Structure 1
């Protein structure tokens, strides 16, 4: 499968929103994604494309010299095919190009699959946010990668 990683554009938002809704119990709004790609100069987003179809995306905010990963998702029909790995590689590469020296993210305590993906790229569990997720009061695991 040929996966193309490229910057997210405003015209990608509808497809991204579909993946967002299929992936998260409290999805971001269309307006939030449009704002991220058109107005937020600190936001950096990419998409994964297969046969001209967006099958995943990810993004982070540049905070001084750190990258705070905001979201990563892969369409359910394309999971377990290495696309999450390609998105992570794309985000790390983009972070390096933007002078980022460390990256962080929060992940649901129950999302073991995502935790394994992040660990594969050198992210380590270094904290916890109690009751972080509003939909079910689940804790978030805070992960960091310092060796970019």
Structure 2
């Protein structure tokens, strides 16, 4: 088994994050943009790295806006997609939003990005509308997705269920996940190396 490490982004990983951003999004954010996010108390930036490595395999970011988590980035290196990494990142972002006391999560996604749409649907995101010609590079519409109930008493049960599914999927692909103490304590985030 190869270990993955889910951790908060620190400045030492910025070059690798910029490379992943370029690979996945063509340079969505600049170095200065990521540095601003690191300094913002309203932003959570999480990375997924091979344990003991500086290679960033996945990235997730949310902005806390009033009672809403706006998911701005969920990215997985193309060579590591469809292994459960995106699910682990999304679960961590939802847990982070819950810890912050946020009530719901929202995001925009290209209407043609079926793999991303499938991922979000697994976590009960629903379409709330469309933003016409949202993506300037292609003029493509964005689907606006919402997921409420993050503070509902049954939401921790959903997190536990998703956690089990994600751990099983990662193990099937010979990966195991370690959550660093600076990211979540065991009580806050249950997805740990079993």
Residues 1-148 of structure 1 mapped to structure 2, 5 A cutoff: 1-38=2-39, 40-51=40-51, 52=53, 53-148=55-150
Number of equivalences: 147
Quick one: distance in 2 between partners of 1:25 and 1:11?
21
Residues 62 and 72, structure 2, Cα contact 8 Å, conserved in 1: yes
Q: After TM superposition, give the deviation of residue 47 of structure 1 in Å.
A: 0.6
Quick one: distance in 2 between partners of 1:138 and 1:24?
15
- After TM superposition, where is structure 1 displaced by more than 2 Å over at least 4 residues in a row? none
Q: After TM superposition, give the deviation of residue 26 of structure 1 in Å.
A: 4.9
Q: After TM superposition, give the deviation of residue 61 of structure 1 in Å.
A: 0.5
Residues 18 and 27, structure 2, Cα contact 8 Å, conserved in 1: no
Instruction: Give the TM-score of the pair, scaled to structure 1.
Output: 0.95
Alpha-carbon RMSD: 1.1
Q: Which structure: greater strand fraction?
A: 1
Q: Which has the higher contact order (CA 8 A, sep 6+)?
A: 2
Q: Which runs of 5 or more residues in structure 1 are unaligned?
A: none
Q: Deviations over 1:87-127 (max 9, x none)?
A: 00110111111111100000001101001001101111111
